[in-house]
Amino acid sequence: MPKALLLENIHPFASENLRQHGFEVVTTKGAMDENELIDALDGVDLLGVRSKTNVTEKVLKARPDLTAVGCFSIGTNQVDLDYAGAHGVAVFNAPYSNTRSVVELVISDIIALMRRLPAHSHHVRSGVWDKSASGSHEVRGKTLGIIGYGNIGSQVSVLAEALGMHVLFYDIEEKLALGNAERASSLEDLLEQSDAVTLHVDGRKSNTNFFGEPQFACMKQGAVFINLSRGFVADLDALKAHLDSGHIAGAAVDVYPVEPKKSGDPFKTPLSEEDNVILTPHIGGSTLEAQEAIGHFVSHKLLDYWSNGITSLSVNLPTLNMNPCQGAARIAHLHANLPGVLASVNHVLGSENINITAQALATEDDLGYVVTDVATMPSPSALDALRSLQGTIRVRVL
């Protein structure tokens, strides 16, 4: 029986789906460090993680039989994608499943900060009755600056415009503006004009401290700042300084440079004593609807790869989509992107007079992936020959 390990309280649908397809499934509520994960992966074929467990080169090297990793999240920076791909471990994520949940939280944060709800709530809880409109604004007519105009940023744009906001966005790639949103000529131009700024950049290492003192200094007096993207993107000490000075009127932060591994662990942040600030524990995508959708999506992707060799939406292998197997067996051959591999695969099969009923090849960067349906099961010697071909990374018979 194949085995799956699902960490970090992944939605129960994922484990139910895997069990229905013949997997033994082990689940945990918390994350694991490298050594704990290496021990737990003994005999495991499929691994599911969220954002706290790092699947490093050390982990992958220690467990070379691992077939695939499912990131039950948008981000995949918790996995060493290059090493995984080069050693035949497919990685999948859920790039769209929790978009709406994140977007709604961003919009609610903007409204709450512009109305100074965190500050008013804090004052009432402290026994201070501060009934005042000072510093409180409607969002209608205000300018929202969106940094990163991908799946989430563009949907924030749509809802913000529906509330009557003027939307500016900045992205390093060419993006089609939705509605009446306008592309800012530069990041500085966006910051100088925006009454609210929200970050939606990805987890690439080059984005570390992307938003620091120079960027906060460029922001409009009295603007508010929101980060629900990645914890290492924004300099929280710089943010605190601009909150303390009164330059920035409020902030909402959902992600942090260092986060606890599990719920209930102690946590500290320099922003904890700030007045008009919303601090949430990385819950941007944590709605029941989003977690169920992610459980559906990623578990199905893992099963498609395990059973059919399908790599559609894999983040580190060439994309290949195939119909169900049209022969006695399906051979999935992952290899270095070298000339002549397909011909070599067919030569091995032809030497045993094995008829090919369907075949597809995809290449991307340094990797090639060929899936072949055959009319008869290859002999052990033929499979050994396929594994011995130059550049072969992994051969799976499905």
| Active site residues per annotation | 230, 259, 282
Token digits of residue 368: 């090639």
Token digits of residue 188: 């500085």
Token digits of residue 121: 């709530």
Task: Assess contact for 91 and 315: CB atoms under 8 A.
Answer: yes
The span from the CA of 179 to the CA of 323, in Å, is 38
Token digits of residue 350: 């032809």
The span from the CA of 23 to the CA of 40, in Å, is 16
Query: Alpha carbon of 363 to those of 111, 255, 342: distances in Å?
Result: 46, 36, 11
Token digits of residue 223: 């603007």
DSSP 134: T
Task: Assess contact for 73 and 294: CB atoms under 8 A.
Answer: yes
Residue 170 half-sphere exposure toward CB, CA atoms < 13 A = 17
Q: Is 173 helix (H, G, I), strand (E, B) or coil?
A: coil
Q: What residues contact residue 133 under an 8 Å CB cut-off, 6+ apart?
A: none
The span from the CA of 297 to the CA of 309, in Å, is 16
Nearest to 180 by CA among 196, 201, 165, 192: 165
Tally Cβ neighbours within 10 Å of residue 339: 8
Phi/psi of residue 118, nearest 5 degrees: -60, -40
Tally Cβ neighbours within 10 Å of residue 241: 16
Mapped to the 3 state alphabet, what secondary structure does 295-364 carry?
HHHHHHHHHHHHHHCCCCCECCCCCCCCCCCCCCEEEEEEEECCCCHHHHHHHHHHHCCCCEEEEEEEEE
